[in-house]
Structure 1
Amino acid sequence: MTETLPTALWTQRADLAQLVAAIGIEDIRWVGGAVRDTLLGEEVADIDAATPLLPEEVMNLLKQAGIRVVPTGIDHGTVTAVLDGGPVEITTLRHDVSTDGRRATVKFASDWKDDAARRDFTINALYAHPQSLAIDDYFGGLEDLSARRVRFIGDARERIREDHLRILRYYRFQARFGAELDAEAEKACAELAETLKGLSRERVAGELLALLALPDPYPTLLRMREKAVLPVILPEAGKAEMARLELLIGIEARYGVETDSLRRLAALLPPVPALAESVAARLRLSRAQRDRLTTLAARNASDGDAPRALAYRQGIENARDRLLLTGKDPRDLVQWHVPQFPLKGGEIVARGIGAGPEVAKMMRAVERRWIEEDFPDRARVEVLLEEELAGR
């Protein structure tokens, strides 16, 4: 009996029906994550489609139907239909001609199974007919999905040699979907771990951060470390750092804090700002990400002594993260807004202090006491100022 895709809201979108009508109902199938996640009852984020038609044909048909289309990856057969409900990537069936572990030379195909054979995992090679929702499963993906097993299509080593990033994708998918381990996949990833060194740092960082963003990546990362995969991409993550990550994930769950991949990356690094800066540069993180990672690396055991003072100096987000990373309760910052220091330099000048360094010194003194007293109101600030002036 042919299994069908459960009816989901996205399968009933009018703009998708228009897309199918433009291309032809027998020349398009939904594929990949949308099919997999619908079968699992999870929310669908992106919709991808496959077609035996050449990309130029697809573009012409969509234009004729009044659908905006962008040639986002036309050299590899991918165009994007811009629809009201969200973009849809449409890729021509293809098979790899040659690969070097980083990029592939592809040839367009006409057979759905040929296209499925070049994909990474069986659970990602499920195709659904847009009308009947019947599922084509060429490599046992439905059984693997039911068993919560992430398995490479065909020979795991061959799949990894085609694209080394599949090692990290395997672990990410295992962390998200897997329950039953695939021994062959684990062995292949361990044997070929060193090939990760040939990938662009941006691709590695993207996969690592995506893994860290999952609800509980700790067991998977621990296995990556045991299999000597994690040390290839993040040698700084030793036993102490792994323990800190485990503690952080538990604290996040205890206090209902949303997961954050950069905070968790900080947990996997020793609290040394210069080292954090070096890792951020190596992973080609953005300037904002580098600054944040370096700030989190400056955490210390005293961060929990005055959470609001820390938030005043570092910002709410950084203060919360530093508290979490040091095992402290961040709830004192919930619904608290960083106040503005209610004193201007002109007020000090008006009290007889000449403009210049003395004003700045007086401002700092009053501000320090204001912070120590947990940000009292304006009236108290005036008292603090008078006391500082009297003590000159």
Structure 2
Amino acid sequence: MDGVSATTLPDAAWRHRPGLDKLAEVLGAERGEARFVGGAVRDTLLGLDAHDIDLATLHAPDEVVRRLEAAGIKAVPTGIAHGTVTAVSSGTVVEVTTLRRDVSTDGRHAVVAYTDDWREDAARRDFTMNALYADPLTGRVFDWFGGLVDLAAGQVRFIGDPLQRIAEDHLRILRFFRFHARFGDAIDDNGLAACVARANDLMALSRERVAAELTKLLVARAAVPVVALMEARGIFRPIVPEIDGGGVERLRALANRELAAGVAPDAVRRLAALLPLDIAEGVGARLKLSNADRKRLMLATAGAGDEGARGLAYRCGIDVALDRLLLAGADVSALDRWTAPRLPIGGGELVARGLSKGPLVARTLKRIESRWIAEHFPDAQRTRQIADEEVAAALADAR
């Protein structure tokens, strides 16, 4: 069975990126030696914008490199040990991977061997919708495992035995839920049962891999009901046991506020909603989030404050202000298209008014700034009046 279907890949902007036709030619697409695969094929069939482009090829990695370099295409051996070469053709970046089959797996890493069997390469992939290939020249789609039917039905389904797929790579548990949150309608019961049964396998994964999947899941189309399902079925218990039903309800409320305010979903903000107070920093550290994201996670639940939305944004930054306001259920409309102004006076001007350099200038400037914020950022003339009053008071206190 050659996997050929009656479906043709629709035209899409990414198919006209510079250098892509040359790359396909160099890798022998006209002889059936290279095909698009994975997300670009899936998303184009769904009418979505595709970003990353992947090509599968019959050629071994060293032959891929030889062909690319002979054609003047940059070859970067990003994952050559596992058969992947990054090609940069006229600025277009494509991941080129030799057809593979798994020799052994341990749930985290796989030892692979190269093959010339397209179906064998498709069989080692996770879900049927991710095992669709397309001819770069004709757009003809190849499907060995019913991926086109599942894509049309909005069903994320493992290829073959779900338990075996999970045993090969435990991250597929989280990917199952992430892809369901992004594309799914009716959940696959066999896949769900396997994920629940093997949830403890997630403990073997690196925290970075867990965090990467979780943050993508949290901003997906159906993140809230899927997170609720995961919490109810115990999926989070091995990796983020702090997530409970209360967190799910806070996430649901936050998602509704984001939608009402026209604010894009944000993974860090949504993670903050899921976690109880006072433990966010610890969870961020355990998931090995960046220092900036850990700090933001910790600040997100600090409340709306009493300086108003713009005052909060001025002191904390727009992102943190949005986090705190939305999580607190406060109005964020004042921040729409607002840019924080700069205090129109500096310490030098206070010295010119008679203050001595040093702590007194800093304290007076802070009082001026607080009044300026409280008055909703008045213009330079009003700010100078505030400065005159505060300098006079500071000089009087210093006598």
TM band (smaller chain): over 0.9
- What does 1:15-26 align with in structure 2 at a 5 Å threshold? 15-25=19-29, 26=32
Instruction: Deviation per CA, 1:360-381: give whole Å up to 9, x if none.
Output: 3322222222222212223323
Identity of aligned residues (%): 51
Matched with 2:294 is 290
Matched with 2:362 is 360
In 2: Cα distance, 1:382 partner to 1:130 partner: 66
Are the aligned partners of 1:215 and 1:259 in contact in 2 as well (CA < 8 Å)?
Answer: no
Matched with 1:346 is 348
Matched with 2:281 is 277
Moved more, 332-341 or 136-145: 332-341
Instruction: Deviation per CA, 1:109-156: give whole Å up to 9, x if none.
Output: 111111111000011111112222222211111111111100000000
Q: Count residues with an aligned counterpart.
A: 388
Are the aligned partners of 1:216 and 1:249 in contact in 2 as well (CA < 8 Å)?
Answer: no
Instruction: Deviation per CA, 1:323-346: give whole Å up to 9, x if none.
Output: 111112211012222222233333
Instruction: Deviation per CA, 1:279-298: give whole Å up to 9, x if none.
Output: 1111111122122222213x
**Cα–Cα, structure 1 residues 147 and 305, in superposed 2: closer, same or farther, change >3 Å?**
same
- What does 1:135-284 align with in structure 2 at a 5 Å threshold? 135-272=141-278, 275-284=279-288
How far did 1:40 drift? 0.8
**Cα–Cα, structure 1 residues 129 and 304, in superposed 2: closer, same or farther, change >3 Å?**
farther
2:49 matches 1:43: yes
Give 3-state SS (helix, strand or coil) of 1:87's partner. Answer: strand
**Cα–Cα, structure 1 residues 374 and 126, in superposed 2: closer, same or farther, change >3 Å?**
same
Are the aligned partners of 1:304 and 1:328 in contact in 2 as well (CA < 8 Å)?
Answer: no
TM-score, structure 1 normalization:
0.94
TM-score, structure 2 normalization:
0.92
In 1: Cα distance, 2:91 partner to 2:45 partner: 21
Amino acid in structure 2 at the alignment position of 1:40: L
Amino acid in structure 1 at the alignment position of 2:331: D
Moved more, 119-128 or 233-242: 233-242
Matched with 2:84 is 78
In 2: Cα distance, 1:370 partner to 1:190 partner: 55
Instruction: Deviation per CA, 1:22-47: give whole Å up to 9, x if none.
Output: 11122111111111111111111111
Regions of 4+ moved over 6 Å: none
Give 3-state SS (helix, strand or coil) of 1:343's partner. Answer: coil
**Cα–Cα, structure 1 residues 347 and 186, in superposed 2: closer, same or farther, change >3 Å?**
same
- Aligned counterpart in structure 2 of residue 303 of structure 1, from 282, 302, 305: 305
**Cα–Cα, structure 1 residues 119 and 382, in superposed 2: closer, same or farther, change >3 Å?**
same
Are the aligned partners of 1:29 and 1:50 in contact in 2 as well (CA < 8 Å)?
Answer: yes
Give 3-state SS (helix, strand or coil) of 1:232's partner. Answer: coil
In 2: Cα distance, 1:198 partner to 1:141 partner: 29
Instruction: Deviation per CA, 1:190-216: give whole Å up to 9, x if none.
Output: 011111011011100000011112233
Are the aligned partners of 1:94 and 1:107 in contact in 2 as well (CA < 8 Å)?
Answer: yes
In 2: Cα distance, 1:350 partner to 1:71 partner: 62
Segments of structure 1 that go 5 or more residues without pairing to the other structure are none
Moved more, 381-390 or 162-171: 381-390
- Aligned counterpart in structure 2 of residue 325 of structure 1, from 295, 310, 327: 327
Are the aligned partners of 2:19 and 2:90 in contact in 1 as well (CA < 8 Å)?
Answer: yes
Amino acid in structure 1 at the alignment position of 2:196: A
Amino acid in structure 2 at the alignment position of 1:58: V
How far did 1:240 drift? 2.1
